[in-house]
Structure 1
């Protein structure tokens, strides 16, 4: 659980650092996507954000190998609370009382989950689950292609939901990989599901944030990466709670996800705040 919370801190902080660097790169001159990316890569904040993303991914993998998927998924959604707090500090974003309350709700939900979570399940799941994850990863790409043609609000929700499902495929696939030797990785369909699902998730999330409402897209992301993977973990992979605390885990999961949804506008740092932070002085 400490690894899951550490991953949330890394991802939430990286979002703000990369947002500041990206806006700063755009403010220094015109250019295409590659030129802007090159200028962003020359800034320490962007590089620090990438390093935090890498560290967060490693911590997420460690967490998924140790605690139930439902606990890790809720912690990943809680990275929005970290982004909100860091944005308030670095970008001078003013949080409303409701948003501060949502941060507290997320923390309370995670505390309940920490108390109720049992050990990682040790079941391998149905024989076809690995292939099902690979098929689901391909389905995420199809959902993205179809969602990109919808009107703006529906497009943002579909792309965000698809991105969340892609990250959910990653969470489940990690549990379906038994070893890291080439002989175990290459023949395993879960390996390719992890790569395809993760790549598709990043593509869809980028498209959703560029082409629609950040709040709507992030809400879809939170729902997609928490609910379905949690159910798979409980039903097929043996994830359980501590004896007699199933109700507390359900309550903590629901509270943490609800708080994250209330903070969904922090799926991307607010534009106006970013512009103030990087404006020439």
Structure 2
């Protein structure tokens, strides 16, 4: 379990660094120099890949709930970093909402049990595939959105889906480093699909909203909904007697997201009437 914790914390720090780099690249993008050729954005993708690798290792030792909740610490790191580096100004209520998200995620993490499920039914792959199709459709439907929070939600569900896919691959077949075995599993391709949806939607959200607010909505979504799916679909356990802690954490984090979704920091940057 200690190994899982160490890798999850490392992934959290790397996710924050990647978000800062990608947000900076998104802010520099123009028609002549689009996002895909921005050096800092590309470096951010590399750091993101390292973070994902650490997350995969963590998921071999901890349930989806626990790993995703630890990753939620990126909310605090990102908020502090954007304030120090860019002088980003958030409303007092936005800061309180970020704090509520953090406290809620801590409660969620504490409610996760430590036992690993032994098998994943084939229906899990079908359900995850249907979810992937719905997310991809939602991403296409939001092509002209002027708000960042719907994209942040999709990004959270996308990257959360990758964790569910990784967990399913590991638990169901235990193939470890067997590449042939991995390529023969539907969950492997679900991981790739969810990752692409998450990456595209997160990159677009960064181009529309402030990094701290986007990260908060993205992270809570990534933790809460996939975590609940992990409980119902992959048999990730909740500590005995901790159901009320889980419920309190979900309510607190959800309330924070509702506030942030209505924040001016979530609107298109060129629509705002204040200067960072």
TM-score, length-normalised on structure 2? 0.74
Residue 7 (structure 2) aligns with: 3
Residue 175 (structure 1) aligns with: 167
Q: Are 1:200 and 2:197 an aligned pair? A: yes
Where do 1:5-20 residues align within 5 Å?
5-20=9-24
Would the alpha carbon gap of residues 75 and 257 (structure 1) be closer, same or farther in structure 2, given more than 3 Å must change?
Answer: farther
Q: Are 1:83 and 2:87 an aligned pair? A: no
Residue 165 (structure 1) aligns with: 157
Residue 243 (structure 2) aligns with: 246
Would the alpha carbon gap of residues 257 and 65 (structure 1) be closer, same or farther in structure 2, given more than 3 Å must change?
Answer: farther
How far 1:225 sits from its partner (Å)?
2.8
| 2:182 aligned to which of 170, 185, 188 | 185
3-state SS of the aligned residue for 2:169?
A: coil
Residue 131 (structure 2) aligns with: 136
Given that 1:18 and 1:46 are in contact with CA atoms closer than 8 Å, whether structure 2 keeps it comes out as yes
3-state SS of the aligned residue for 1:244?
A: coil
Unaligned runs of 5+ in 1: none
Moved more, 173-182 or 71-80: 71-80
How far 1:185 sits from its partner (Å)?
0.7
How far 1:106 sits from its partner (Å)?
3.8
Where do 1:1-281 residues align within 5 Å?
1-20=5-24, 23=27, 31-33=32-34, 37-38=36-37, 40-41=38-39, 49-148=44-143, 152=146, 158-178=150-170, 179=175, 180-210=177-207, 221-222=218-219, 224-259=221-256, 262=259
Would the alpha carbon gap of residues 192 and 51 (structure 1) be closer, same or farther in structure 2, given more than 3 Å must change?
Answer: closer
CA distance in 2, matches of 1:100, 1:207: 23
**Structure with the greater alpha carbon radius of gyration:** 1
Moved more, 75-84 or 252-261: 252-261
Would the alpha carbon gap of residues 119 and 101 (structure 1) be closer, same or farther in structure 2, given more than 3 Å must change?
Answer: same
Moved more, 193-202 or 232-241: 232-241
Moved more, 139-148 or 157-166: 157-166
Would the alpha carbon gap of residues 250 and 5 (structure 1) be closer, same or farther in structure 2, given more than 3 Å must change?
Answer: farther
How far 1:252 sits from its partner (Å)?
3.0
Number of corresponding residues: 261
How far 1:84 sits from its partner (Å)?
1.0
For residues 10-33 of structure 1, the C-alpha deviation after alignment (integer angstroms, 9 at most, x for no partner) is: 21232223433554676xxx8332
How far 1:99 sits from its partner (Å)?
3.9
For residues 197-241 of structure 1, the C-alpha deviation after alignment (integer angstroms, 9 at most, x for no partner) is: 11122223334555x666997677456533432222111322123
How far 1:98 sits from its partner (Å)?
3.2
Would the alpha carbon gap of residues 57 and 95 (structure 1) be closer, same or farther in structure 2, given more than 3 Å must change?
Answer: same
CA distance in 2, matches of 1:99, 1:159: 19
For residues 26-82 of structure 1, the C-alpha deviation after alignment (integer angstroms, 9 at most, x for no partner) is: 6xxx8332xx654x42xxx65663443233212222232222222333344442332
Unaligned runs of 5+ in 2: none
RMSD: 3.8
